[in-house]
Amino acid sequence: MDREKIWNADAAGRYDTPGTGMFAPEVLEPAVDRLTRLAGGGAALEFAIGTGRVAVPLADRGVPVTGIDSSRPMVERLRAKAGESAIPVVIGDMATTTAPGEYTLVYLVYNTISNLLTQAEQVECFRNAARHLEPGGRFVIELWVPELRTLPPGRRATVWQSAPGRIGLDTYDVLRQHVVSHHFRFDETEQARLYRSPHRYIWPSELDLMAQLAGFHLESRHADWNEAPFTADSPSHVSVYRLPSAP
């Protein structure tokens, strides 16, 4: 699947759901609160800034925010909320593209590192974060834990959502650590609409090794932005990686 076709104007329009879903205050505000603290008074860089779901409220808190994103349609929607002078954005791949300046915080939220479909690209993403950070700077990743415990032997798919008007299921390729998320939306007619997105899933321990290769150490890991304890049953995590401070 071509990334430009996945993150097109139609996808950008579906992404913005003000006040609901990932934009709901109970989802968004704890993330912005914690990122504000982790920035420590410095500037922040968001990889895959998208439509500005996190960047706009973070900038409203007084944190200078810059973004990198490969999708022009997503950034066009951001521009309806904040101009280039308020939140500068560089168009490009988050694994290789650089933004001007140095930052105390780089962050990558809502499972987006899994949009990079090879281990090599994901490692380069860590290295790119390290290139942008000041000594002692932090790289924050929000990511889901692979749900393979719910995948019976011989099955390739799991249902992760079943609600009125929508069904979500994931198909797994465990050899390559790939998963394709299928989002079905339908109404009272016989017609349904399908949206798909490919991902490469990452185990927490594998993520930690990627961080080490880029010079980071794991500072903390919690189950959510409210800093609940991370356990074997946690479906996702917020991991904070840090570079060594200057001598």
- 189-227 pLDDT, tens per residue? 878 888 888 999 999 999 999 999 999 999 999 999 999
The position carrying tokens 């390559």 is 176
Q: What pLDDT was estimated at residue 5?
A: 60
Total-model pTM: 0.90
Q: Provide the residue ranges of all domains of the chain, joining segments of one domain with +.
A: 3-146+203-242, 148-198
Separation CA 135–CA 97 (nearest Å)? 20
Separation of alpha carbons 207 and 142, rounded Å = 11
Give the C-alpha distances (Å, rounded to integers) separating 16 from 26, 52, 75, 77, 180: 16, 9, 12, 9, 21
Bridge pairing between strands 133-144 and 103-108: parallel
pLDDT tens column, 91-110: 999 999 999 999 999 999 99
Asked if 74 and 87 touch (Cβ cutoff 8 Å), the reply is no
Cβ atoms within 10 Å, residue 1: 10
Give the residues of the chain that fall short of pLDDT 50.
none
The fold of 3-146+203-242 is Rossmann fold (3.40.50)
